[in-house]
Amino acid sequence: MLIDTHSHLYFDSFDEDRELVIQRAIENGLAAIITIGTDVETSKQAVALAEKYASVFAAVGIHPTDCADVNDDDFEAIRTLAQHEKVIAIGEVGLDYYHMRAEKEVQIATFNRQIKMAHELKLPLIIHNRDSHEDMYKVLSESEASDAGGVLHSFSGNTEFLNSILELDLHVSFTGNITFKKSDADELVKNAPLERLLL
Ligand SMILES: [Zn+2]
């Protein structure tokens, strides 16, 4: 059974043929598709798609590139959405020091608050990490992230970082970056145990 654990089906690039895309995926053997919000608005859209299609499930959360102006109402909205029966994770959340659309302190605070939420609601985390390995490890190891569980999606970093993430009982997923000619991810992928790999 295959599950696509990371999609953004609400993107307007799917406006023309969203239903067909979902249908084709199911016909080709996907048991389920998880579609993931990046702020309150897209989290609502993800839940609406999960309500409409039996095979679609949603994750709700505030992405590190969308957290500069986040407020208490936003967190409350995410918490309410997260209790919908088809919401199966909090995400995507994390740190992004590449785009740097919000101060590090704001990103870390937003991330920590959603880790706490995931733990309280007994939902796993879908985690985004870009150029922030050191703080990522610090936040994950000092929070309830291991208890909540979850995945570092589109994993990047060296073997040492991979092992430290696996030691926290988290899962990883790799994306297109491992196909780049310059990629040095072959060893990394080999070192990720199959039972900890998500699609
Ligand atoms: Zn994503």
Domain ranges across the chain: 2-198
Query: How many CA atoms, within 13 angstroms, populate the side-chain half-sphere of residue 116?
Result: 8
Distance 92 CA to ligand 1 centre (A): 7
Residue 58: phi and psi, rounded to 5, are -120, 150
**Strand intervals (E) in 83-184:** 87-96, 125-130, 150-152, 171-173
- Asked if the model's pLDDT at residue 23 lies above 80, the reply is yes
* Sign of the torsion angle spanned by Cα atoms 90, 94, 99, 103: positive
Confidence of residue 185 (pLDDT cuts 50, 70, 90): confident
Distance 50 CA to ligand 1 centre (A): 16
Q: What is the pLDDT of residues 85-117, one digit of tens each?
A: 999 999 999 999 999 999 999 999 999 999 999
Structural element, H or E, at residue 49: helix 40-52
Structural element, H or E, at residue 119: helix 104-121
Distance 180 CA to ligand 1 centre (A): 19
Distance 119 CA to ligand 1 centre (A): 21
Distance 128 CA to ligand 1 centre (A): 7
- Asked if the model's pLDDT at residue 77 lies above 90, the reply is yes
Distance 46 CA to ligand 1 centre (A): 12
Confidence of residue 186 (pLDDT cuts 50, 70, 90): confident
The whole-number average pLDDT for the span 161-185 is 89
CATH number assigned to the domain covering 2-198: 3.20.20.140
Residue positions counted in the chain: 199
For residue 179, what pLDDT is reported? Answer: 83
Q: Please indicate, yes or no, whether the overall pTM of this predicted structure exceeds 0.85.
A: yes
Q: Which two tokens stand for residue 121?
A: 């609601």
What is the per-residue DSSP string for 20-34? HHHHHHHHTTEEEEE
Distance 156 CA to ligand 1 centre (A): 14
User: Per residue in 147-166, is it b (16+ CB within 10 Å) or e — as a string?
Assistant: ebbbbbbbbbbeeebbebbb
Q: What is the pLDDT of residues 122-159, one digit of tens each?
A: 999 999 999 999 999 999 999 999 999 999 999 988 99
- Asked if the model's pLDDT at residue 181 lies above 90, the reply is no
